[in-house]
Structure 1
């Protein structure tokens, strides 16, 4: 397999976009692994696909017309429609808009089926239109997987997406149709029955995390695979509504109302004798408290008994003429009030908001499991959840899933040696090393003018004294011993104080920055260290926004508890020092044996990423772009901007910002422009790969045309997509090839077994996961004009890009360990995070409501929703964001 070459004919057709894999890599020590995939055996038979359209039927005699069907309602309508058209047909569906069959359905001439729907207490009708059928050419996909050759010469990606989509409908039909399994999205399934579900309580029992499973069909060389992984979701409460009120002392009315809002429930209606009459599905609006505010509800609604009919439910309508007691019968347009005993909340309703600071650690701890635990869950509970064994529906469609996880071949790349000043080297073990008795490789500019600031609304004299003593002694001593030049004493020996007791955080922080700026004798402060009483998002946002955008002063925030442990602070201050040196233009370390393609100083490496707002928010998406300026890959100045909300592909701004990176490289390299540009594009999905090439690459080339001489051919460009949000995991098969946390060894690379020979991609586990299951980074080459032209067409190019990416993971400047994703992509993500700090109103990490109803109207950081803030000229060409 290592010597497998792709045919020249195939390579010629993809000379530019999606270049063929030049060879499989060979460097490193061979290792046998398990992957979280099962092999799929599928009969090579054609399939038929119908697209469904479900619409309510207008009924003139009805005052209240039917609404569009969603969720469980849509599912029940489609179930009924399929029973009408194909009770004996082999068919599957995802209960939304697709049906896959083995033969054509017998349909009315208009291809429409009318369904009566009464489960929600209304006699509604819906039309289900069957568009199609469309042929799904399963045999053609298997011919491609066997030959790795597409007769059409298409450069689309991913190939045969329609077939994979149809297979996923087949695989998801049974769990999706099971009332004891909740499905989220296209591929995630969660057991919700009391006997088998695995849960962790959140929010004082209101919400719960449930362990579930992900599955997706994936093409690989010569075969089809089912990717299966453990997944975790957060769900809202379920069961009798009366349980939500116990113990009552834990909740106020607002909390109860908020947590019950928009929950779907089964509501039991009773007749006059108190016997159950019918059950309908309704959406809860909350508690029966019209004003919600304490003390404003003089006449609350009354339900006199369990099973009360509408005539026995009383509430008051308050208006200009006073309070008028009405019954639900007489004022039916108001919300229906039901006793909690008559309401049962439907299980499996996912939480839509972002988790708060208390809930997030609980979920992380619940989801953090060893590789062995996850592998065991996949092969036992996962298979049961997916109903892979003894499934008649899968048998009808000729699908069989092998019992065991896939065994594949990988390689373990050697950890590189790390070089510090005076040729002193460190040798990583499990991707980590320390800086004992070494200095940073190259110090940044000297910090002549610096100060520190206490932030504490309730300061204790002893604590303040301890911090002041350390900042005037041990702090600068550690930095100096690291080789970081800094004045021994601060501008303000006692430090300054941010008073947040009587001032808004922004006002208080601005006052301190004004003091720093106006300090007598200061030529202009270069650095402000902020000592926080605790992690404080508001103060942090104010410090970074004012320092980065208005005053042009580097800042670092530290938490006071680290100063009060009574232990030497060498390690903590050393970590802080790494950030300081990078901000000041220094280089902390480099790879002992320079990366070959970089060492000549002719290659610029670029990374960019887009981050999106949380669900329910209309905040903009944020772009971070970084680019190297030296052959040591030590400095990565950045550009950042906002674009339309939830838009992943970049617009025209990319051209201008990329041009700025070229100018900066030129200024740092004696007027020369780079001959090669290697781009790591982070975070795009497979379906967006071609958009990167069709929309973003032309903007990059146009930026180059604007900077390179007219008679120049311009730079050679390679574009690599780096992705962490995928579901592939690897497990060691032998103790000699695992870390202390029982994960695969650092440097593990996989480019076969779960990949396609024709697609140039690979998985890399560069880091050591301290706990949980290590997630590999997935790299896919979309365009290559650098590696094959520099290293050759074969194995050297395959090894070259893998080794470069691996060694770059040891070049993350603020850490003494390898990171999980290559630094250009990592830095770009950090830039986006810093941009969020400039817009705290739009990106609140602590507000429970921000992700539900959009941005708050009350300013948290005092900066409003200004997305136009730019980095101060003093800092814009530095690593201010680190």
Structure 2
């Protein structure tokens, strides 16, 4: 008897909750090949980017290779797939020519050597057997699905701009500041689902450099209103400009249409304007502005601008250069750009449906001659599936609260007349105001603190020291010394060890915030709470209440908890809930030696409300957590010290693992968890459930009946789907736990169970996971992923600020340039939720 999966088989469908029907952005594959697909390896030398590989193959296919009408599909690297064997037999070698750099003019054609050899015949009937439960997953099936994915990507790869699995079109693009623009893109992927293959199609957007005039781009980069404002470019602006433009591809327009096909990469800028940048021609010296006038009869309009230096050390005036369209913008977006990007990407549900359907027309499966040859057909209608809306759990606050136990509606509630379940005492604290007394008068700060203290006390905290010392600090430098001084003042005033430094910030910028967190978390070892200065002038009750929630848990308190009867798995016997996350260096930052940061959080009480964290750094872009055994051991010890008992069960939620990494993560990380238990006691073997949480997925659900949703048209909080668009046999489900925002389409989280020694059924795990989403400490709403994973994300984000050599103050420096060393969080803080 074969094993249908190496992971957990689905224990049946869930039944809890109210049934509704939803559309999913999946399209049924109605026909796909049942015979063989032929797999060939292709080697093109010299090595070039995949876009040029495609052109080389396409040219060779038409000129040198005779495929007798066979339309093969190519992934741009090493793989070619065909529905028929190639006429030349099992191998073929030829040479083909291609003008350099995608049809550059003025250079001799490059010769490419092409070797093709047959490596496999893929039995597609095996996929049919797998989908119907008559066979387990195999390399042949994975290769077959990969071949079909290459097939649907082949033609769009030649006609649209491709990045990863996404295709982008400039049609309907929107400019954002800084010479960039947002393009609409489409994601497509073939996925196995119960009894069928489906194509998952979703929207995706990314930023590109604006095509067109280089001069106009420079105006936008430097934030000027016109070219005339560039008559005297300062050194700082020139340095910024050179960083921005380096490696950008342009084409020159001064020689007419033919020359515009040649793409040139910018190496640097001249330090002098075109009118005084001197060329040596023979024994003569001539400035570039005069040279262009004499040679091309072209009087420069902007001789005061520097020139760009392109490969071959050619000097070109900016005004004769146009930016090549379709170049990916890889820089970190600034605040204004992010706002513009969000406005572009936030599509309400119906608008998203319409744009996905437009994508079906753009991808045009029905008129695609490659797809036709593979006998492949796709429905044009989104699939409809059964969904359920799970009931919200009962939440509990302090018994003295009005409505101390209640069931939230729509995933939301408020703190009115409520007191936190366990309020802490704040006796030793101080306030650091990063700004002058003129900007933040002492009276205004004191008034805000009085309102904050009153709100905290009304909410159940005890604050005997209502007038903490206040110190104005310079936000531009000396942050560490200032915080040390205010810490000493807090201790001296209260005659006890300081518990909190309240920091008032002049702006939401990263540099000051990062330095405050680095110093407080790793140098001093005290909790910190940052507040934007603008809030001190109008101390709103709701804002102060939100701050209170954060302060209370940072000091070891508990804000609320779920009724124990509704999380029986956790309350019936000692159970630890863990969440793990790995964050990698930013895309433009991966060759700098920057490490990845790992965080594991764990509950340390019987209500799964209070969490502690363990943090490590490891080699950049390694997905498996290297030191997991030591981290789990550390957290198990903390649980034992806090609760007085060893956990008998471990529920481990793991974030950010792709399907291709399931096996390796399961093998290594389960082994590490078990090793941690064994190292504490040879006989200690708690039962483990290991669940992967994928937040960044491309699945979206849309109501078939608007009456089932909320006023935004989104699916309600608690919507769960475990049929039709899930894995054919494995235990996975989609859960949209959070209430929808006013704009955009809600995204469900995807939960996939890799190991289950605790015998969950569908309802018990789905309900527990959803109920836990109401236990997030710093807000009064259900959150989009389970809190232990959410907390692990927060810990990783905070750890980035603990690096010693970051250059947070330069917006043009990608995060993490250089080799940063990370300081450890002080032990006292690791016992509380300092990261909230």
Counterpart selection for 1:645 from 620, 644, 650:
620
Which position in structure 1 is the counterpart of 2:263? 282
Q: Structure 1 residue 46 and structure 2 residue 66: aligned?
A: no
Q: Is the 8 A contact 1:764 1:778 kept in 2?
A: yes
Q: Does the 8 Å contact 2:479/2:516 carry over to 1? A: no
- Of 590, 595, 609, the match for 2:561: 590
Answer yes or no: is 1:866 the counterpart of 2:791.
Answer: no
The equivalent of 1:527 in structure 2 is 500
- The alpha-carbon deviation at position 286 of structure 1 amounts to 5.3
Quick check: 1:666 aligned with 2:640? yes
Question: Which residue does the alignment assign to 1:556?
Answer: 529
Give TM-score scaled by structure 1 length: 0.85
The secondary structure found in structure 1 opposite 2:734 is strand
Local SS of the residue matching 1:135: strand
Distance apart, 1:49 and its partner CA: 1.8
Q: Is residue 335 of structure 1 aligned with residue 313 of structure 2?
A: yes
The alpha-carbon deviation at position 346 of structure 1 amounts to 2.8
Distance 1:352 1:387 in 2: 29
Q: Give distance in 2, aligned partners of 1:148 and 1:725.
A: 31
Q: 2:163 aligns with which of 181, 184, 206?
A: 184
Tell me the equivalent position of 1:469. 447
State yes or no: 1:782 paired with 2:749. no
Deviations 1:121-172 (A, max 9, x none): 243212122242322222211111022532xxx6x7x983212211111101
The 3-state SS of whatever aligns with 1:421 is coil
2:797 maps to which residue? 833
Contact 1:258 / 1:286 at 8 angstroms: preserved in 2?
no
CA 816–242 in structure 1, closer or farther in 2 if over 3 Å, else same: closer
Change (3 A) 1:277 1:556: closer
- The answer to whether the aligner puts 1:365 opposite 2:343 as a matched pair is yes
Query: How far does residue 21 in structure 1 lie from its aligned partner after superposition?
Result: 0.6
Task: Tell me how far 1:609 sits from its aligned partner.
Answer: 0.4
Match of 2:149 among 150, 158, 168: 168
Q: In the alignment, does 2:141 pair up with 1:141?
A: no
Secondary structure at 2:335's aligned position in 1?
coil
Cα RMSD after superposing both structures: 2.9
Which residue in 2 is equivalent to 1:82?
A: 61
Counterpart of 1:21?
10
Q: Distance in 2 between matches of 1:302 and 1:510?
A: 57
| Separation in 2, partners of 1:374, 1:845 | 37
The CA distance in 2 between the partners of 1:310 and 1:136, in whole Å, is 60
Aligned match of 1:480: 457
CA displacement 1:286-339 (0-9 Å, x = unmatched):
5651x379999688951547698799999xxxxxxxxxxxxx9xx999512345
Distance 2:670 2:380 in 1: 43
1:389 to partner: Cα distance? 3.1
Q: Residues 843 and 31 of structure 1: is their aligned pair in 2 closer, same or farther, counting only changes over 3 Å?
A: farther
Q: Distance in 1 between matches of 2:268 and 2:41?
A: 40
Give the whole-Å Cα distance in 2 for the aligned partners of 1:287 and 1:700: 52
* Alignment match, 1:707: 680
The Cα shift of 1:410 comes to 0.7
Alignment of 1:416-431 (within 5 A): 416-422=393-399, 424-431=404-411
Distance 1:332 1:767, change over 3 A: closer
1:302 equivalenced with 2:288 (yes/no): yes
CA distance in 1, matches of 2:70, 2:404: 73
Q: Take 1:222 and 1:277, find their aligned partners in 2: how far apart are those partners?
A: 54
Residues 806, 148 of structure 1: alpha-carbon distance in 2 compared, 3 angstrom cutoff: farther
Q: Please report how far the alpha carbon of residue 277 of structure 1 lies from its aligned counterpart in structure 2 after TM superposition.
A: 5.9
Contact 1:256/1:287 (8 A) holds in 2:
no
2:686 is equivalent to residue 722 of structure 1: no
- 2:365 corresponds to 1:410: no
SS of residue matched to 2:616: strand
Structure 1 residues 266, 80: closer, same or farther in 2, change over 3 A? farther
Partner SS for 2:381: coil
Other structure's SS at 1:201 match: strand
Closer, same or farther: CA 462–242 of 1 in aligned 2, 3 Å: closer
Mapped to 1, the partners of 2:701 and 2:90 lie a distance apart of 52
Check the 8 A contact 1:613/1:620 in 2, yes or no: yes
How far has the Cα of 1:94 moved from its partner?
2.8
State the partner residue of 2:582.
610
Q: Is the 8 A contact 1:214 1:228 kept in 2?
A: yes
Shift of 1:546: 1.5
Residue by residue, what CA displacement relative to the aligned partner does 1:450-505 show, whole Å, maximum 9, x if unpaired?
Answer: 1111111x44266442112221x22111111111122242341xx1121235x443
In 1, are the aligned partners of 2:275 and 2:289 still within 8 Å (CA)?
no
Of 122, 127, 133 in structure 1, the residue corresponding to residue 113 of structure 2 is 127
Is the Cα–Cα contact under 8 Å of residues 498 and 508 in structure 1 kept in the other structure?
yes
Counterpart for residue 600 of structure 1: 572
Q: 1:392 pairs with 353, 358, 369, which one?
A: 369
Q: Deviations over 1:236-275 (max 9, x none)?
A: 12135465466414665555544433233445684xxxx7
Gaps of 5+ in 2: 220-225, 280-285, 301-307
Aligned: 1:767 with 2:738:
yes
Cα 1:74/1:509, change in 2 over 3 Å: farther
Equivalence for 1:199: 173
Residue in structure 2 matched with residue 318 of structure 1 by the alignment: none
With normalisation by structure 2, the TM-score equals 0.89
1:547 to partner: Cα distance: 1.3
Contact kept, 8 Å, 2:266 with 2:311, in 1: the verdict is: no
In structure 2, C-alpha distance between the alignment counterparts of 1:751 and 1:127, rounded to whole Å: 50
SS at match of 1:874: helix
Using the TM superposition, give the Cα deviation of residue 199 of structure 1 relative to its aligned residue in structure 2, in angstroms.
Answer: 1.6
Q: Does residue 684 of structure 1 match 2:657?
A: yes
Q: 1:455 to 1:339 in 2, by over 3 A?
A: closer
The aligned counterpart of 1:620 is 595
CA distance in structure 1 between the partners assigned to 2:368 and 2:292 by the alignment:
44
1:29–1:412 contact (8 Å) kept in structure 2: yes
